[in-house]
Amino acid sequence: MRYEVKAVISGQGTVHLQLEADSEEEARRQVLDQGGMVLTVKRSFTGLSFKSNARFPLVHFSQELLSLVTAGLSLVECLETLVDKEQDANNRKIIHDLLARLYEGITFSQALEAYPQAFPMLYIATIRASERTGDLAEALTRFVTYQTQMDLVRKKLVGASIYPVLLLVVGLLVSLFLLIFVVPKFSAIYDDMNADLPWLSVLLIEWGHFVQDHGWELAIFVLLFLVSVSYAVTRQGFRAYMMEKLWHIPAVGERMRVYQLARFYKTLGMLLRGGIPITQALEMVSGLLQAHFRPKIEAAANHIREGQTISSAMEVEGLTTAVGNRMLRVGERTGLMGDMMERIGAFHDEEIARWVEWTTKLIEPILMAVIGIVIGGIIILMYLPIFELAGSIN
């Protein structure tokens, strides 16, 4: 659930925040953890809103900012330029507020913290690390590269699922059309036939009678069912429950684990390359993963604080694979742990891409065969009485 919070934060004054939280108390706790004082909290009902809720174009903003910084402009000059060229009113206001806070002497990372809905903690931490080294361009380059790679993997997964989903939807719609509109017409024609029909044809004819007699009740039931499913899908608890069930499917659950690990290591590698300590980076990354991963990440961080190596801590908590563990050991020997973690993430991304390609190639013909059998079966069962009648005439 999303909450609109008005709070006072030291060094930033009064700010308006958009926070994701399970309850009002959790939203208050998030502000208190930032050292702020909550003034008001109210629920933001975005599910039924017809207003535009476009996300801040973070990657595009970072790319433009990187280009200006590389050209030799100061940070203030960069933001002034971006304010002048920005057309969207909401984005323009955010950039203008960032510029105003820089005029007040606040650091860039502190200014970004006022807009957690636009700038995630990973981005803020990357910028804060660059303030210590004085290399903002390098930090922006790392983040743009990281986000581009993550978006590319996500687009591959979505693109691979479009055709099977479209095939399934079209097949389902054709089947429903036959069952709701065509079968009742045939059942009315066959009412006076006394032929001995197969029981599946009889069942299909009875379904046609049921649709004719209770069509409105069936339509209302289907509508209520679709509304209930749509509402359930929007609930965080339901999505978490369905995700937990998917994790228990052996083949799917293992691939989902590898995908999570790829995201985990890519993000962790970016933070380590930015100069953030491993234990702090682990705390920041835990929020990006599934809930059941978080206790393992916390336990791994405790093992590292106790003096264990990163590879052994990850292996003990099941946060690595056989290949990933060997690469972590190489990173410990060479001292390039951030680079090695990014390579682990890239390796697992390629593994997931190959699995998705193979799975879609297998699923597509299976779906086509199943849909063809269902639609063909319905049509054959509708025409069987005609075949029976023709046989009796002969």
Q: What integer is the mean pLDDT of 47-54?
A: 39
Output the CA–CA distances (angstroms, integers) from residue 251 to 255, 354, 370, 371, in the order listed: 7, 14, 21, 24
- Is 365 part of any domain? yes
Is the confidence at residue 52, as pLDDT, over 50?
A: no
Q: What whole-number distance in Å separates Cα of residue 140 and Cα of residue 135? A: 9
Contacts of 124 (CB under 8 A, 6+ apart): 109, 112, 113
Q: What whole-number distance in Å separates Cα of residue 26 and Cα of residue 212? A: 52
Q: What is the pLDDT of residues 150-185, one digit of tens each?
A: 777 778 777 777 888 888 888 888 888 888 887 777
- Is 132 part of any domain? no
Contacts of 114 (CB under 8 A, 6+ apart): 9, 12, 15, 17, 97, 101
How far apart are the two ends of the chain, measured CA to CA in Å?
Answer: 69
Task: Tell whether 94 and 28 lie within a shared domain.
Answer: no
Domain residues for 89?
Answer: 56-119
- Is 321 part of any domain? yes
Residue 46: predicted pLDDT:
43
Task: Tell whether 391 and 247 lie within a shared domain.
Answer: yes
Structure-token pair, residue 391: 């046989």
Task: Tell whether 70 and 19 lie within a shared domain.
Answer: no
Task: Tell whether 45 and 70 lie within a shared domain.
Answer: no
Contacts of 265 (CB under 8 A, 6+ apart): 324, 341, 342, 344, 345, 348
Task: Tell whether 165 and 186 lie within a shared domain.
Answer: yes
Please say whether the beta carbons of 263 and 238 come within 8 A: no
Q: What whole-number distance in Å separates Cα of residue 350 and Cα of residue 246? A: 22
CATH code, 27: 3.30.1490
Residue 330: predicted pLDDT:
92
Q: How deeply is 269 buried, as exposed, middle or buried, from its count of CB atoms within 10 A (0-12, 13-18, 19+)? A: buried
Residue 262: predicted pLDDT:
85
Of the ranges 122-126, 171-175, 191-195, 328-332, which one carries the lowest mean pLDDT score? Answer: 191-195
The secondary structure of residue 181, as a DSSP letter, is I
Which helix (H) or strand (E) segment holds residue 207: the answer is helix 199-213
Task: Tell whether 96 and 238 lie within a shared domain.
Answer: no
Is the confidence at residue 273, as pLDDT, over 50?
A: yes
The confidence band for 49, taking pLDDT boundaries of 50, 70 and 90, is: very low
Structure-token pair, residue 107: 């650091």
Give the residue among 5, 12, 8, 7 at the shortest CA–CA distance from 112.
12
Residue 53: predicted pLDDT:
43
The better pLDDT of the pair 317, 213 is held by 317
Is the confidence at residue 195, as pLDDT, over 60?
A: no
Taking residue 120's Cβ as centre, other Cβ atoms within 10 Å add up to: 16
What is the number of structural domains in the chain? 3
Residue 278: predicted pLDDT:
87
CA angle (169, 170, 172) in 5-degree steps: 65
Task: Tell whether 165 and 313 lie within a shared domain.
Answer: yes
Is the confidence at residue 205, as pLDDT, over 70?
A: yes
Is the confidence at residue 42, as pLDDT, over 80?
A: no
Structure-token pair, residue 229: 């499913």
Please say whether the beta carbons of 239 and 233 come within 8 A: yes
Task: Tell whether 170 and 76 lie within a shared domain.
Answer: no
Q: How deeply is 339 buried, as exposed, middle or buried, from its count of CB atoms within 10 A (0-12, 13-18, 19+)? A: middle
Is the confidence at residue 54, as pLDDT, over 60?
A: no
Please say whether the beta carbons of 18 and 26 come within 8 A: no
- Is 134 part of any domain? no
Q: What is the pLDDT of residues 253-266, one digit of tens each?
A: 788 888 888 888 88
Task: Tell whether 148 and 284 lie within a shared domain.
Answer: yes
The confidence band for 40, taking pLDDT boundaries of 50, 70 and 90, is: confident
β-sheet bridge partners, residue 80: none
CATH code, 285: 1.20.81.30
- Is 74 part of any domain? yes
The confidence band for 351, taking pLDDT boundaries of 50, 70 and 90, is: confident
Is the confidence at residue 223, as pLDDT, over 50?
A: yes
Alpha carbons within 13 A on the beta-carbon side of 20: 7
Task: Tell whether 184 and 328 lie within a shared domain.
Answer: yes
Taking residue 310's Cβ as centre, other Cβ atoms within 10 Å add up to: 23
Is the confidence at residue 393, as pLDDT, over 70?
A: no
**How does strand 36-44 pair with strand 13-20?**
unpaired
Output the CA–CA distances (angstroms, integers) from residue 5 to 8, 20, 92, 109, 388, in the order listed: 10, 11, 21, 20, 72
- Is 136 part of any domain? no
